[in-house]
Amino acid sequence: MLRVNEQNVVIFGLGYVGCVTAACLARLGHHVTGIDCDVTKVQSVQAGLSPFYEPGLQELLSAGVAAQRLFATTECQAALANADIALVCVGTPSARNGDLGFDQLRRTISQIRDVLAGRTKELIVAIRSTVFPGTCEELTETILGNHPGVRVVCNPEFLREGCAVLDFMQPSLLVVGGADDEAVHSVARLYSALKVEPVLVSLRTAELIKYASNAFHAVKICFANEIGTLAASLGVSAEEVMETLCADRKLNTSAAYLKPGFAFGGSCLPKDLRALNYRASRLDLQLPLLESLLHSNRQHLTRAIDCVLDLPVERIGIIGLTFKENTDDLRESPAVAMLEHLIGKGRNVRVYDAHIRLDTIYGSNRNFIMDAVPHIGRLLTRTPDDLLGWAEYLVITQRPSPELQICITESGLPILDLTGSQAFARSAIAVGSLA
């Protein structure tokens, strides 16, 4: 028994997530009652039998029932009478239009509301079902009526069918989100016996992280399959390509590039994506994910440009002209594309980039900027002070050096930070909120 910080837990829904959660929490030493309207599931759990096949689950259920730490019922009121935490694990299936079906979730929250009058202590309701950001707040307001005796948090699950018990007992990620710190910590303590550091976040972050995780998994699968398809058509070993790709743990299989920021550019990514898609088309291959990347990048740039155009000022100062910091490469820079568009719309702009001096750049680099913005020389400022003293609003397109960051902060100018760096506490808009 791994009993730590024992709590009375009620679990709504005895499907894959609820049943595994109930069995594992009982194994950790908590007193657990599972609630489900399906009599067959309830009877199975009460008998210590798994209502479905999942490796390791049968043994945990049997042990939990035998130790009198795990129970199951169809009745909500008695189960909730002494509960500390209610974990909601009911299904949120797809509706016909692709939205979530909330019928089970709303019924469950309504059940909880209906028994609150008979309770004498506070209840923490942890939504473990997969829900979209804002759902917990909506349920709290519309169904629970902001009841003072209930605190709602989100505790998403990351369990894979076929290894759900292992995923629970050896989690790679544990997330609890909410506005009430005490409630968030109470739910996190349910898992204190496990070797994982809980990530405590805002309520809406906790709701969205499950979607972000699953979307990323889907992207990885589709990416591997499309590269595999292209490799096979070229007579290349797909397995060898992907194994080699994954051997790079600094850039490829890492957190590198997984931060919201400005659009990509430069002399490599756009060119190589175009070539990859062209060659695939010559082989009569459709690779929708790879084909969508340049379009996605253009859309992100368009959103950023629209945000700049919406600024209610006359003089806009842009920090950064190259495609990323610490280079003088202007080729296919999204900042250049933005500047070109703003000029075309008649906006009054100036630019500062520490690495750009027209008299020192040459070749294709110089040709690119002169073709895109022929009068760029009139827009470039020699020093950051020249720009900061002129501008009414600053647009940051690349992460500034620490020295430049201090100058920007001390200027007191409002900032539109497109880098997503969160370096400026006064940022009016960060790239992650571009709509």
The residues that are catalytic are: 268
Q: What separation in angstroms does the CA of 182 have from each of 122, 128, 178, 186, 210?
A: 12, 18, 9, 6, 23
Whether 178 and 151 have beta carbons less than 8 Å apart is answered as yes
What is the rounded distance in angstroms from the CA atom of residue 234 to the CA atom of residue 229? Answer: 9
Residue 14 CA, distance from chain mean position: 27
Both ends of the chain: CA-CA distance in Å?
A: 50
Q: Cβ neighbours of residue 64 under 8 Å, at least 6 residues apart?
A: 22, 23, 26, 27, 32, 48, 70
Q: Which of 135, 130, 122, 179 lies closest to 155, judged by CA?
A: 130
Other C-beta atoms lying within 10 Å of the C-beta of residue 425: 7
Contact status, residue 139 vs residue 132, Cβ threshold 8 Å: no
Structure tokens at 253: 């299989």
10 Å CB burial of residue 108 (0-12, 13-18, 19+) is: buried
Read off the DSSP letter of residue 284. Answer: T
**418, 331 Cβ separation under 8 angstroms:** no
Quick one: residue 420, left, alpha or beta (phi over 0 = left, psi -120 to 50 = alpha)? left
Type of residue at 283: L
